[in-house]
Amino acid sequence: MRNIWTIAKREYDNYFNSPLAYVVAFSILLPMGIYFSLIMFVSSQQAMMGGPAPESAPINWLFVFLMIFLSPALTMRLLSDEARMGTLELLLTAPIRDFELVAGKWLGALMFVLALASLTLVFPLIINNFVSPGIDWMVILSSYIGMILVCAALLSIGTGISAIFTNQFAAFFVTLGLFFFLWFMVSLPANYLQQGGDVLNYLSLSTHFSQSMNNGTINLGDVVYYLSLIALGLFAGTTAVEIRRWR
């Protein structure tokens, strides 16, 4: 476990040395800020005519939505760059298990995303000031748990794919393509199918978040779905590293 933490800590620090992480942070925080201002503006107009209070759910949804496009940039070089630079040889001859290496890389990326997510807590805090009698913090908690689970799953899959490639851009595009498929496309044919539509809906990344946890309902099924994706990504990454040894 200590090895995972050592790897994660270095990876986390490393993000702050690279311009890419700032670009990702900028590309996620700027649209969210703009979106938040719009929501606040529109609701303040509507509130004068007795409209509903502003909600933070759409903002959290945007965070997850942007992560589909930006998380591949965070994970693309995690292991592929180690293989390209040859530093993988150092890590694979250090007394750490292959799983600890992959899990550490993933955790480092997750810590960076958690840091970004914690910045977005200002939005519900601001809303809380304008709404009486305050917002339901349990809904916010559920929404954030969902956000973190989705991001953890995305980063895990990204880490796994990064372990397969030596070229970080290959890893980026494969990861992006897979996320695009899992988020938008996998449930598209569900409505046209007589049977099996439920399975496709279940596989979709978005349904488990936007229709449940983001609105305050935590289902065991949704949590299990994301946890299995995390396990799958880490397993794929570990296997890819092991295969690298054999080649």
Q: Note whether 106 and 156 are within 8 A (CB).
A: yes
Q: Which residue lies nearer to another protein by CB, 6 or 201? A: 6
Q: Which residue lies nearer to another protein by CB, 7 or 176? A: 7
Q: State the nearest-atom distance from the C-beta of 21 to another protein, in Å.
A: 12
Give the binding-site size for another protein (rule: CB under 8 A): 24
Positive or negative CA dihedral for 61, 143, 13, 103? negative
Looking at 1, 2, 52, 132, which residue binds another protein (CB under 8 A)? 2
Positive or negative CA dihedral for 128, 131, 134, 139? negative
Q: Is the peptide bond before 54 cis (omega within 30 degrees of 0)?
A: no
- Find the part of the chain contacting another protein (CB under 8 A) among 19-27, 55-63, 89-97, 114-122: 89-97
Tokens 């997850």 belong to residue? 64
Q: State the nearest-atom distance from the C-beta of 11 to another protein, in Å.
A: 10
- Find the part of the chain contacting another protein (CB under 8 A) among 30-38, 84-92, 131-139, 233-241: 84-92
- Find the part of the chain contacting another protein (CB under 8 A) among 4-12, 123-131, 153-161, 226-234: 4-12
Q: Which residue lies nearer to another protein by CB, 5 or 35? A: 5
- Find the part of the chain contacting another protein (CB under 8 A) among 12-20, 107-115, 130-138, 217-225: 12-20
Q: Rounded distance, CA 226 to CA 207, Å?
A: 11
Q: State the nearest-atom distance from the C-beta of 244 to another protein, in Å.
A: 9
- Find the part of the chain contacting another protein (CB under 8 A) among 30-38, 62-70, 87-95, 141-149: 87-95
Looking at 46, 87, 130, 192, which residue binds another protein (CB under 8 A)? 87
Taking CB under 8 A as the rule, does residue 18 contact another protein?
yes
Looking at 19, 50, 52, 86, which residue binds another protein (CB under 8 A)? 86
Instruction: Take residue 138 and report the two structure tokens written for it.
Output: 């349990």
- Name the nearest CA neighbour of 174 among 163, 186, 158: 158
Q: Which of residues 93-122 bind another protein (CB under 8 A)?
A: 93-97
- Residues at the site binding another protein, with contacts judged by CB under 8 A: 2-3, 6-7, 10, 14, 17-18, 85-97, 245-247
